A and B are shown apart, each in its own frame.
Chain A
Amino acid sequence: MSAAGTVVTVAALTLREATRRRVLLALVVLTVLLLALSGWGFSRLAAEGLTSGEARLTASVVLNLVMFGFSLIAALGTAFLAGPTLAGETESGIALAVLARPVQRWAFLLGKLTGLVAFGAGFVVIAGLAELLVVQATVGYWPPDPAVALGLLAAQTVVLLTLTVLLSTAISPMASGVVAVGLFCTTWVAGVVGGIGAGLGNDAVERVGTVSRVLLPTDGLWRGAMHAFQDPSALVQFGGGAEAGAFPFLSQTALSPAYLGWAAVWVLMVGGLAALAFSRRDL
């Protein structure tokens, strides 16, 4: 079979697995719950009689908080789906019959990743868009750059999935999910610590965030997404200055094209490493 055909077939199989294993159903239920809760919360905010500036700040912060919830659900869902679908199939023997077919291993792996990305990125984009509509309907707030923001959320999911796929080629299904989600959370915390360092003017502490964002670009992309979700005046409303950077649900700067380029290189590098490891692996 051609490599492109293998990628499409395996991606479709992975999406079918996500649907049949009720991962999709679980995500839909969680999303509806989160949308309903945030809709109720935002409608309460609208009833508080805030000034327009306060309303924009509050909407920005709460929107970023809810979006973080979605990105966490996507991270947990996809990381724990990627482990079983790759490492689990290798461990259980399902991969034996499939890989004895005329397929390239890298194409099989790319198919798995494509299916997972379509699922994870599709989820954050659809759920995120639904949340934006809820916010628009309740408090009348519409973010300055919604397409970029949702795109960066999807990119964050791609980064995390690529990492999980690499881990799945080397360690057990459960361990790969745990390590990937653990690293995702650690990088987020390191980003917050870096923000506090910036707020305090401490370069060494600030560097913690910078280094972690280079090693695993999930937090950097998340901060870029937050910046595109929040109102430009929100930082000024929050108090302005570097101190605002210490707050985890507001982002001080937009994402630079160079960082976006690095994230793309990172995905290619880690994905390539995963393909190499998987093609050399004895099954």
Chain B
Amino acid sequence: MTAAGPAGATALLADLPPGPAVWCSGLRKRYGTQQAVSDVSLEVGRGEVVGLLGPNGAGKTSVIKMLLGLVRPDAGEVLLLGTDARRPSSRTRVGYLPELFRYQPWLTPAEVLTLHVRLSGLDVSAQRQRECLALVGLADRAGDRLGGFSKGMQQRLGLAVALVADPELVVLDEPTSALDPLGRVDVRDIVLALRERGVAVLLNSHLIGEVERVCDRVVILDRGRVAAAGTLAELLGQREVKLHLTDLPAGAAERLAAAGPVEREGEWFTVALPAEDAGTAVPDLVGDLVALGVRVHAVEPVRISLEERLLGILREGQEARR
């Protein structure tokens, strides 16, 4: 043994990298006869922005509520910031904007933030609380009762509540559902700023474009299961290239097929390229085709959007169930 007793062990533990912001395994939840969540496992790394996507009733909000101890899972384990989520202290550095955002209508925004700071048990200055309200555009309404606030303003307050207690993990459940386009841009900027500061974000949103812009990774849920998960590059990895070719000699079809599955429409060939491509597949293919004597009129990259990919995954799931 090289470490010197307990002090050495403590030093060794301190050197270990911190656990992920969120780690859950085998989450299950049934409401009556409805199996809402079946065996969901996912991870959000420190400082990572992960998008949770899926159709209505896929179990996204149930998963989020199980992570935060608001719903008791029937089975499975959850760690928040390296601590067992059954212990309330695991949520000390967690900010949460619920899908159903409502705050005490008899309080003012400033009082709501003070309440949440007190409940978090942390010491957050009044200046920092004011900054939080200013960040979401509510600085001028800090002293007004919430009773007269619009939905959009309440959602902005919810965002400030999620951010006020110096979180290391922020969980946003449909954070832009009541916001105008400007508000959506504000939320996008806030999420990007959180990522820059190393704060992990779990973002549940129906706005796929929003997710695509800010997320490092995406988890797609369908009928309570993880239908797909990965980085955007991995999920959208099936890049395609469209080629306009004439004068194809023998061997050209084999060369095209070697690059990936081919679809032909007259003189247009669409080749699905492999995900693990170092960027050489297209120039190599074009070079080989030219060497074979093929006349190459056009080469067009085909970009698959996250929306198309999501729909594809959900349709595959539907067909598999039939």
Contact = CB atoms under 8 A, between A and B. Distances in A.
Contact of B91 (A6, A21, A100, A282): A100
A9 interface: yes
Contact of A282 (B70, B90, B158): B70
Contacts of A98: 115-116, 119
Contacts of A280: 72
Nearest to A279: B72
B117 to A, nearest CB: 10
A21 B146 CA distance: 13
Contacts of B158: 97
A2 B89 CA distance: 9
B178 to A, nearest CB: 13
B120 A1 contact: yes
A21 B106 contact: yes
B41 interface: no
Contact of A96 (B70, B92, B106, B121): B70
Nearest first, the 10 A-B pairs at minimum CB distance are A93-B100, A1-B121, A20-B106, A101-B119, A96-B98, A100-B96, A93-B102, A282-B71, A102-B88, A283-B70
Tell me which of A16, A96, A103 has the highest count of chain B C-beta atoms within 10 A of its own C-beta.
Answer: A96
Contacts of A20: 106-107
Tell me which of A16, A17, A99, A100 has the highest count of chain B C-beta atoms within 10 A of its own C-beta.
Answer: A100
Interface residues of B, number: 31
A172 interface: no
Given A2-B121, A283-B65, A101 B106 contact: no
A55 B229 CA distance: 84
A16 B158 CA distance: 21
Interface string B88-127: 1111101011101111101100000001101111000000
A16 B97 CA distance: 24
Given A5-B121, A102-B92, A17 B72 contact: no
A268 interface: no
A119 to B, nearest CB: 14
Contacts of B107: 16, 20
A93 B94 CA distance: 18
Contacts, number: 79
A52 interface: no
A102 B103 contact: no
A51 interface: no
Interface of B: 31, 65, 68-72, 88-92, 94, 96-98, 100-104, 106-107, 115-116, 118-121, 158, 161
A185 to B, nearest CB: 29
Given A6-B119, A96-B70, A96-B98, A102 B91 contact: yes
Range for the number of chain A residues in contact with chain B? 20 to 34
A92 interface: yes
Interface in A1-32: 1-2, 5-6, 9, 13, 16-17, 20-21
Nearest to B70: A283
Given A9-B118, A93-B98, A16 B106 contact: yes
B119 to A, nearest CB: 4
A101 B120 contact: yes
Contacts of A94: 102-104
30 contacts: A1-B118, A2-B121, A5-B121, A9-B115, A9-B119, A17-B104, A92-B100, A92-B102, A93-B100, A93-B101, A93-B102, A94-B102, A94-B104, A97-B96, A97-B103, A97-B158, A98-B115, A100-B69, A100-B94, A100-B98, A101-B88, A101-B116, A101-B120, A102-B119, A102-B121, A280-B72, A282-B31, A282-B70, A283-B65, A283-B71
Contacts of B31: 282
Contacts of A103: 88, 119
Interface string A255-283: 00000000000000000000000001011
A1 B119 contact: yes
A97 B92 contact: no
A1 to B, nearest CB: 4
Interface string A81-113: 000000000001110111111111000000000
Contacts of A101: 88, 91, 116, 119-120
B64 to A, nearest CB: 10
Given A102-B91, A104-B88, A97 B65 contact: no
A88 B46 CA distance: 36
B100 A96 contact: yes
A80 B88 CA distance: 30
